[in-house]
Amino acid sequence: MRGNLPEEPNDPIPLAQALIRCRSVTPADGGALATMEAALAPLGFTCTRLKYGEVDNLFARRGTGGPHLCYAGHTDVVPPGDEAAWADDPFAAVIRDGVLYGRGACDMKGGIAAFVAGLADFLAANPDHPGSISLLITGDEEGPSVDGTRRVLEWMAENGHTPDMCVVGEPTSKMQLGDTIKVGRRGSMNAWITVKGRQGHSAYPHLADNPVHRLIRVLNALTAAPLDAGSQFFEASTLQVTGLQVDNTATNVIPAEAKAFCNIRFNDHHHSAALTERLRAVLAEHAPDHELRVSVSGESFLTEPGPFVEALQRAVRRGTGLEAKLDTGGGTSDARFITHYCPVAELGAVGATLHQRDESAPVAELRALAGLYRLVIEECLR
């Protein structure tokens, strides 16, 4: 090692270890972005630190022309939980039996290091490459996602840095490296429902108005039939009741209110505004006295197959021999913000241990991912 830099810039492992050793639990940076700057500046990148609220972000770019390929990732990680339950210190970046262990090894410090290694390898062979390459690295992906990628994208647009295409390095492969490219994500929204009633004695229900009964009818109406049967690129939308609450400890008292919590994951057949209106209509029918609060994490989006997606598929084919499946499953990612600016797709490592205790990534896989990212750059900038 030379400071935080690997001696061999095309090997992702030393950089991955240096990043893991930064205790960057959202929103703390822990020195992760300084480590990134130290790795990118010698490769000819102009680095700009962007701080919004408590969140540190980094934008780095090499070149000024087109096509402009951006790589987006995050150096923040989720808390390790009970650190004593880990086999090793979650921030020690231990390698054992060919596997790198540590919080962020899979999601997604290992992936970021692989991109930098593949990038260094590409630049060594193509110092006068066409176009430009940038990295959007946030410290707010695992948190509220308010002062991270979304704010950096706004700054990029204001300062002439909007990319032509973007690869998000989330660990999206399922069984083998490169078997899956995510070209979209379902939308996600949460609903908090409070049904009001009239408290009373359970022996005299005619003198009360039981909100639990009304809430049951609301939830039955919402879950009785599927939202849809799926679409060409998306699985069926789902509405899941994730919680029920009645603050009543007495068995002979009809409560004054009852609450439910729902999460809706929706495909391109829907928009959050229309789904919210559906909730309001059902509530108006079965529980006129109610409160509804809705929070939208993101709308569904799709990057249609075209030149960018085909370039990623060619890179996977060259690097692994696989025909990557185009997929839209899983939760949300920062790609939901990027889609408003340019075509975006997600391609990364196998996500076998993300957010788990003893999170890990095989050393051989990270090195293979570095090679795959080099091919991605070649295919996108040619």
Angle subtended at Cα 312 by Cα 310 and Cα 313, rounded to the nearest 5 degrees: 60
As a 3-state breakdown, the chain gives helix, strand, coil percent values, each rounded to 5, of 30, 25, 40
Q: Which is it for the CA torsion 323, 326, 331, 334, positive or negative?
A: positive
Positive or negative: CA dihedral 155, 156, 159, 162: negative
Which of 289, 129, 113 lies closest to 193 in space, CA to CA?
Answer: 289
The span from the CA of 47 to the CA of 61, in Å, is 7
Question: 9-21: string of b/e by CB count within 10 Å (b at 16+)?
Answer: bbbbbbbbbbbbb
Which residues are 344's β-sheet partners?
166
The whole-angstrom separation of Cα 100 and Cα 272 is 40
CA-wise closest residue to 176 among 371, 348, 367: 348
Q: Catalytic residue numbers?
A: 76, 141
* Contact indicator for 138, 130 with CB cutoff of 8 Å: no
Q: In whole angstroms, what is the distance from residue 303 CA to residue 271 CA?
A: 17
Q: Which helix (H) or strand (E) holds 216?
A: helix 211-223
CB 20 within 8 A of CB 105: yes
